[in-house]
Structure 1
Amino acid sequence: MALPLFFPPVRYTPQIDCAHAVPLHELCNRAETRCEAFGAWTKRPIVVRDAGEQLPWIRAEPGDWAAVEVGVPHLRGSLRAQSRWALGALAFVLFDGVARASIVGKDWSRIEQPRGAAPGDRRPLSNAERQRKYRMRAGV
């Protein structure tokens, strides 16, 4: 699994229902990664919901330690995959330092490769080939 190149933008709301919230360090445990911080920063309440057929979303209350709700895409019901997607969203959208430090260097936290041929698949043109193309375009 790789993280997407673009996450949905964050929307700030005044209140998030924290009935099913877990602390950030517990989200790291669910993602099977080690939480790389200590203290109050690791107790930020995170609500992870399966977005199902809807587009994923990120909602947050204003403030550094405020609650966050992440609607993750349906990832075959895997709690680990959903937790990893939510950690990626926290790290790259909200710039959460704890989440970023916890996922850095992991194989699953790499950005997914775009589809299609790589941009540098062709060999570079020689000078003679470039001149030939130029002359054909210019009509010389």
Structure 2
Amino acid sequence: MDSDILDSITFDANGLVPAIAQQHDTGEVLMMAWMNRDAVQETLEKGQVCYWSRSRGKLWRKGESSGHVQRLVDFRVDCDGDTLLLLVEQTGVACHTGRHNCFFTSIRDGKAEIISDVEIPPEEIYGDKTPAP
């Protein structure tokens, strides 16, 4: 891989960059996670999305425990180089709560409202090892 691509991304002081995953054919925003240089490189080389897990302190290959993977369709860098947009083909649900996306809480009339149902109970996906948010 051309190192100029990695060098064009502005990683923060912790070596991370925010990455927004969006369903490529519908435009639905699925989730936001963090990537470090290794996660970006692996994602571009393998075509399967890989993030950096801040809570676990290691690479997080989306779907490695759930089977709900994200296949990379297009990789975009914003104008400042400090945010990534990943157009993906999502298999299964994107959120660890068993919902299709992570943006299921809406603030309406000053109150939080859950606007989407659980599609797959987390215990069916992860057993006793449901990951922390």
TM over 0.5: no
Q: Name the structure, 1 or 2, with higher relative contact order (CA <8 Å, separation 6+).
A: 1
TM-score of the two chains, using structure 2 as the length reference: 0.27
Higher fraction of strand: 2
TM-score of the two chains, using structure 1 as the length reference: 0.26
Structure (1 or 2) with the larger CA radius of gyration: 1
